Structure 1
């Protein structure tokens, strides 16, 4: 991911810019980045390998709107020699060779850390290596962190009563779930430390609040073919056959089961019950390990709530029905659904914002209200120990929306005028399809193609769709992992079906199976929505 920095002193060298940003980026887990001073006066760019870390940096230091008011809205302002620094996402894609070099540096760094851990050294290092990093669990729950009566609570939406084990590695933690009966497969959940927003340890449980879904796997016993599994179950030896060209040790999954599939894209909080009561103190002792997030000691109670699937269904009905959302244009309803679907707010909380949004639409233009809702998402904190219930009350949210509308109206952002001033530019809404869910973004400016030029008065009938991994990168090939379930069931199921956004069903046609494999995975594919009055869909 590339970030552009403006308003720098034109006499600053590239090394000075890198020296200034190095400690700041390191505080967000970014150890390696590439800085480059541009020919334009006072501008520079730096490329970060992990987009999630970069988004967290921009969440605090990024400037969404141009101008002085845009800088005043930055949570943590940056200054170089008393001059304000403007950090924004670059519109250019990062250079492939720079990304390759950063990936090599990151790989070399972790290899060096592994060798250092295995090499006898100081007494403190050996004791740190011998400290327990694996703990047995008796249950796993999936839900959301929210507030009730001023207290932080955990709302349970899915419970897996299989026993297992949680293992803390150097870069990620692994949750293993053992089979309940002999002969069944066991599952694994991989959670990168960079994706953990809060790490809470209670009396006998560990609660992990994430910013993305974990990677899910089903472990396989060598050959994955049905014939081989039947021969092994019946005790029949195979004859002299050719050795298969490739066998997998595990397969990538989109969900653990059907119940988990209903909540995996909406519930990013995992609560693990420890088998031994003494393991809580041992988990708290992991603070000294490199890479492990900050551990908070807090007993979070469990409280029942309306299941998330029912809340999402109520929101979809509210956006589709005339009495609730029919009077609102699609651009606004898209941003409202994004607040819930991207887990910024609970769906019931988004429904409570409907009257306020409709009142603003009577006074302001559709573009201003939609842009204000988009900026509202970046102003909402993550629910957890660092936030308070007051931040999520309707009065607070409506006040934030009012300030955002006033800011957008006064500043007149460049993005609102871009499509109006240039005929070849269109503002296109986007959807990211991951192995576990669908997330909404945009609209963002894109160059019109022949279909967008032909249907220039119906731009809302088109969305840009990307098939990516959980960290928004390409789904990469892994030698020991089969991704057939993701390609054939998850992605192909989306292509054969449709995506529902604010009462509209966006349908995809014209994809080939080979285009979803490996490096040929498409990043942006524009599809025309199936219009109810025509009943026809067409690829752009």
Structure 2
């Protein structure tokens, strides 16, 4: 039943209306209803699930006719309504309620029904109400310790005015109503709250607050407000949309980026009751344990001249002078400035520290250029050592004194030098990687980070001094993307971003300005910047560097020019010099027909030229036959053509994007192995509309569910799963797990190993439920290339890959489904025929690729979501249960969109403007989500006209990075606020410590659901039960039940000895069986290896975190992905997870080689057991308590890292197994010192 409301306050929001209705509904015992209200309209509707509830509501609050008395003249109609009397009052206004003249919407009723069914099991208990505190003073400043080691707050900015302070659901909200400004401080950013009975409190933040302002309402609304009896909060909620700011006012701006302690005072003279409220709120926050709450009497003072801003300017000038005269290496100057920019130290402290370092380096001249007294690696460890200032006994004033810092640096430098050989291989530049500084640009500040290792690209390969390049990330304060919000204008933020790109980032006298960005960098809102430098006698500035890359002058579209320049910034870890290898480049024509290019983006390579590539790629890559490349101005794929003689590569016109003289063939990727085929929401929905049976999807999902349930049942299952997911490949983690079982040990008795395995399985389970990531055994994902021989006819493909023991064998002759992600149009999935070439045919030599025909009216790749052959990957399914069931639809035919061009040459400012516009109007995710919603709600599914329109808009949005023509939000077909249940959020993951992952019993809420947050409700989504296949798949996975019963491992009694004590005892027995091993003499070397390993791992924990002050967990680095708290990873987390996996594999590969190839002990010959000695020493050292200082720690989670002993154990087991195998063969071993090297017979 639906009830119509009129005469509501026009500016009342929907959320506020629900809040106003709640007491009336509770009084009538009505629970299942929903209220809707259009913005700025005086009308609304209430939909009741049960008609009886609606009738009961109208009985009590429905409008009634006004009685006509004989003494009063007849009352006329007003606005077409008969004269009635309202019986409901909201915010002082009479609201008229009556039965609606339309039927309730079906989706609305389904949504209410869904919420009712979820209410008992998915809603957390109501949180206690919080009081708004009336403060009279707000300060921004920093902490310091006085001469008596008392923690003191120093105010750099003060506002003595009335403020409203409230600890809401997820944020601390501070409203300055006189200025129309609100500070929003997420609890996640609060490091500590310190308070005292006098009403003073201070919060230490890890990043600046979100600062919002709003314009006053117009005069008409002001008059309305003056007539109404509303609270201050309601006045704010009726205000106009807000602006995001970088500071509260002009005096706050110079310190807002650096001073991250906010202090407020609830004065004693107001009322005793107010102080009682204050104390109550403090106790309440301590009980919630969302962040540390400390009862301590802070010292308080106002900053003396010169202030923070003046000291910072003086420090920057000082560092610039040191850079000009070469007093300190630039790496240290960068890190010195980072100590201030990132909020670690006061600029006066950094200035004094810099002077000390200059004196130290002057005393060490001239030797410091080869052996600096303090290295960058040692100095970087300051960022792990310096904690946030906190009250005694945890606060350590020594961290903030110059003498204390210098003492720490000297100790850190000793450790770095002791392990210099090991560290050099992990941390220094290499042919495939470069050490790069990084900057993060947010709405309020620029923080500095690094150096960290980045994959090589063409620009870095051309210039050896990489300190002149930085990678800048543009994001929100918490490290995430800036999200669109219709009620908050980000214009000021984007203007700031544009000015940073054009004006540059100043570091120690250098000014870094926009250079370029690759396509993936653009999607991640990241760009490369460079500072002027001299190379081979010429000054290099961004424009000249770009000129040296190629000829871009004829490109007058900023987007296209940026895309072409971006080719030089693609990650290309491997490169082959064409001249040195005498490789000839030939241009061959494209295969074209009917205006279609069948060879779009693909060329060929001879066997001789491929051999040159094999010489530069790792042996683990094997001998791939397809390479994704960049060469000069060309990009795309090269496929092996065994018919080509000599050393040749053949480039087609469709591959060449600009003219260049570069002679390096750069390798981006290669088809070294197939990729598992996994379904997703979009593919499943189109396949459903094509006629794929529900049974097929449900059976595939159930098969995967059974596999996940069984993973932790046996060690053999766990090992197989870990190997299949490529976790710990370089250390062969799966073999270590099998060894523990053979030794009679339970690996899940170790907290770290158990947590790692649980996290891997839990992640897969959540992807299965919330993303429908269902593996298809009879499916595969492969790079696409063209049949150069003409063997395949129209509509035919050839699927070839190395199955090994991980995949099904490739399909035989017959129909197969081919697709490409993302797929939104119903014609984006097609059926082709797999044809097998005869023995001896050239195509037989291809590996791990999908080969398309060069015949027909239209090339097949372009029919699959507009794909081409320049590196696209395609899905293939040959399961007869689904292939025989589907019908295909006509593929999309979109008009080619011409790029937006200027009537003048493109300059750097144009490209900067395009970069920012892309951030502002990147709506790909919004389009894809709306497509899912409408495809579920509409009868025609993906064939519905609005879904087809969204597919076209998605195609345009994908091309925006090349055309510069954005899709505006108003172009999107409108959707209702109701969403299918498969898009709802799941329970939140809580990681309490290293050994405890919990799945919350309640569904996670949206991050912006603070109703106290002024005018920022965001979309209030409601969900209904979807009856289509995605809804069925979603509800078929009970993640809480599976987690509790099948994944989470029960920990049996550990007994008196730990897992590692038992492991060492068994290993020692096996070692003694081989011979005497004196591991103790390798302890110092093992300790050095451990230091290098843990520094590298902790670096990844910081570098790959969304925010450097909140590092990743060690087990996330170990398993190679970020465990998202809710249903799945965001795009940036997925990108970072790839980097984490690569970095950990690189670190562990090198560390394992160090363990198994030890240095010679002085006075002894090398022996066969030396490696065993060192591996055993590393295990013993790893089992000891970590070398890091144990103390209360706010800034970093890296007190004791756990994984080194696992890496050492894996290396030891491998070494031991080799020796035991040789021993069983009758061989004996030569021991160091005997004068014999090798085996005895």
TM-score, normalised to structure 2's length? Answer: 0.30
Alignment of 1:136-155 (within 5 A): 136-149=134-147, 150-155=149-154
Partner of 2:344: 344
Aligned partners of 1:507 and 1:530 also within 8 Å: no
Q: Does residue 210 of the first structure (1) align with residue 212 of the second (2)?
A: no
Q: How many residues align?
A: 392
Partner of 1:393: 401
What secondary structure, in the 3-state scheme, does the structure 2 residue paired with 1:258 have? coil
Aligned partners of 1:201 and 1:283 also within 8 Å: no
RMSD value, Cα: 3.3
- Alpha-carbon displacement from aligned partner over 1:152-171 (angstroms, at most 9, x marks no partner): 11111111223121111122
**Alpha-carbon shift at residue 112 of structure 1 (Å):** 9.3
**Alpha-carbon shift at residue 249 of structure 1 (Å):** 2.8
Partner of 1:86: none
* In structure 1, distance between residues paired with 2:216 and 2:123: 30
Aligned partners of 1:142 and 1:158 also within 8 Å: yes
Query: Quick one: structure 1 residues 112 and 376, their matched pair in 2 at CA, closer, same or farther if it must change by over 3 Å?
Result: farther
**Alpha-carbon shift at residue 358 of structure 1 (Å):** 3.2
Partner of 1:474: 481
* In structure 1, distance between residues paired with 2:223 and 2:515: 44
* In structure 2, distance between residues paired with 1:174 and 1:197: 16
Partner of 2:251: 259
Alignment of 1:105-116 (within 5 A): 115-116=123-124
Q: Does residue 498 of the first structure (1) align with residue 504 of the second (2)?
A: yes
Moved more, 293-302 or 527-536: 527-536
Aligned partners of 1:474 and 1:521 also within 8 Å: no
Partner of 2:446: 438
Q: Does residue 486 of the first structure (1) align with residue 485 of the second (2)?
A: no
Q: Does residue 316 of the first structure (1) align with residue 316 of the second (2)?
A: yes
Q: Does residue 536 of the first structure (1) align with residue 541 of the second (2)?
A: yes
- Alpha-carbon displacement from aligned partner over 1:227-248 (angstroms, at most 9, x marks no partner): xx6997999xxxxxxxxxxx97
Partner of 2:941: none
**Alpha-carbon shift at residue 217 of structure 1 (Å):** 1.1
* In structure 1, distance between residues paired with 2:442 and 2:123: 34
Partner of 2:1072: none
- Alpha-carbon displacement from aligned partner over 1:442-483 (angstroms, at most 9, x marks no partner): 011112221111222x31111111101111121122343221
* In structure 1, distance between residues paired with 2:424 and 2:348: 30
Structure 2 stretches lacking a partner, 5+ long: 1-118, 225-238, 547-568, 570-1241
Structure 1 stretches lacking a partner, 5+ long: 1-110, 119-127, 181-185, 223-228, 236-246
Alignment of 1:292-371 (within 5 A): 292-303=290-301, 304-305=303-304, 306-322=306-322, 326-358=326-358, 360-361=360-361, 362=364, 365-366=371-372, 369-371=375-377
* In structure 1, distance between residues paired with 2:517 and 2:249: 27
- Alpha-carbon displacement from aligned partner over 1:30-69 (angstroms, at most 9, x marks no partner): xxxxxxxxxxxxxxxxxxxxxxxxxxxxxxxxxxxxxxxx
- Alpha-carbon displacement from aligned partner over 1:478-507 (angstroms, at most 9, x marks no partner): 3432212211x2211212211110111112
Query: Quick one: structure 1 residues 504 and 438, their matched pair in 2 at CA, closer, same or farther if it must change by over 3 Å?
Result: same
- Alpha-carbon displacement from aligned partner over 1:181-208 (angstroms, at most 9, x marks no partner): xxxxx11111111211220112121111
Partner of 2:599: none
Partner of 1:191: 185
Alignment of 1:403-414 (within 5 A): 403-412=411-420
1:249 to 222, 241, 244: 241
Alignment of 1:3-152 (within 5 A): 115-118=123-126, 129-130=128-129, 132-149=130-147, 150-152=149-151
Aligned partners of 2:318 and 2:351 also within 8 Å: yes
* In structure 2, distance between residues paired with 1:506 and 1:195: 29
Q: Does residue 272 of the first structure (1) align with residue 264 of the second (2)?
A: yes
**Alpha-carbon shift at residue 524 of structure 1 (Å):** 2.8
Query: Quick one: structure 1 residues 288 and 449, their matched pair in 2 at CA, closer, same or farther if it must change by over 3 Å?
Result: closer
Aligned partners of 1:248 and 1:479 also within 8 Å: no
**Alpha-carbon shift at residue 221 of structure 1 (Å):** 6.0
* In structure 1, distance between residues paired with 2:350 and 2:319: 10
* In structure 2, distance between residues paired with 1:233 and 1:455: 62
Query: Quick one: structure 1 residues 414 and 265, their matched pair in 2 at CA, closer, same or farther if it must change by over 3 Å?
Result: farther
* In structure 1, distance between residues paired with 2:468 and 2:501: 17
What secondary structure, in the 3-state scheme, does the structure 2 residue paired with 1:270 have? strand
TM-score, normalised to structure 1's length? Answer: 0.66
Query: Quick one: structure 1 residues 281 and 418, their matched pair in 2 at CA, closer, same or farther if it must change by over 3 Å?
Result: closer
**Alpha-carbon shift at residue 323 of structure 1 (Å):** 9.7
* In structure 1, distance between residues paired with 2:460 and 2:345: 33
1:425 to 427, 433, 439: 433
What secondary structure, in the 3-state scheme, does the structure 1 residue paired with 2:128 have? helix
- Alpha-carbon displacement from aligned partner over 1:353-384 (angstroms, at most 9, x marks no partner): 22442355426534961111111121112112
Aligned partners of 2:516 and 2:529 also within 8 Å: no
What secondary structure, in the 3-state scheme, does the structure 2 residue paired with 1:485 have? helix
What secondary structure, in the 3-state scheme, does the structure 2 residue paired with 1:259 have? coil
* In structure 2, distance between residues paired with 1:421 and 1:270: 41
* In structure 2, distance between residues paired with 1:112 and 1:492: 49
What secondary structure, in the 3-state scheme, does the structure 2 residue paired with 1:328 have? coil
* In structure 2, distance between residues paired with 1:165 and 1:527: 42
Query: Quick one: structure 1 residues 230 and 412, their matched pair in 2 at CA, closer, same or farther if it must change by over 3 Å?
Result: farther
Query: Quick one: structure 1 residues 113 and 395, their matched pair in 2 at CA, closer, same or farther if it must change by over 3 Å?
Result: farther
**Alpha-carbon shift at residue 419 of structure 1 (Å):** 6.9
Partner of 2:735: none
**Alpha-carbon shift at residue 322 of structure 1 (Å):** 4.3
**Alpha-carbon shift at residue 394 of structure 1 (Å):** 2.1
Aligned partners of 1:142 and 1:157 also within 8 Å: yes
Larger Rg: 2
* In structure 2, distance between residues paired with 1:349 and 1:339: 10
Structure number with higher strand proportion:
1
- Relative contact order higher in (CA < 8 Å, ≥ 6 apart): 1
Partner of 1:377: 383
Aligned partners of 1:467 and 1:523 also within 8 Å: yes
Query: Quick one: structure 1 residues 417 and 520, their matched pair in 2 at CA, closer, same or farther if it must change by over 3 Å?
Result: closer
What secondary structure, in the 3-state scheme, does the structure 2 residue paired with 1:179 have? coil
- Alpha-carbon displacement from aligned partner over 1:108-163 (angstroms, at most 9, x marks no partner): xxx99994444xxxxxxxxx724x43211111110001111122111111112231
Moved more, 428-437 or 441-450: 441-450
Aligned partners of 1:325 and 1:354 also within 8 Å: no
Query: Quick one: structure 1 residues 164 and 447, their matched pair in 2 at CA, closer, same or farther if it must change by over 3 Å?
Result: same
* In structure 1, distance between residues paired with 2:188 and 2:313: 31
Aligned partners of 1:334 and 1:502 also within 8 Å: yes
Moved more, 203-212 or 292-301: 292-301
Query: Quick one: structure 1 residues 367 and 391, their matched pair in 2 at CA, closer, same or farther if it must change by over 3 Å?
Result: closer
Query: Quick one: structure 1 residues 343 and 170, their matched pair in 2 at CA, closer, same or farther if it must change by over 3 Å?
Result: same
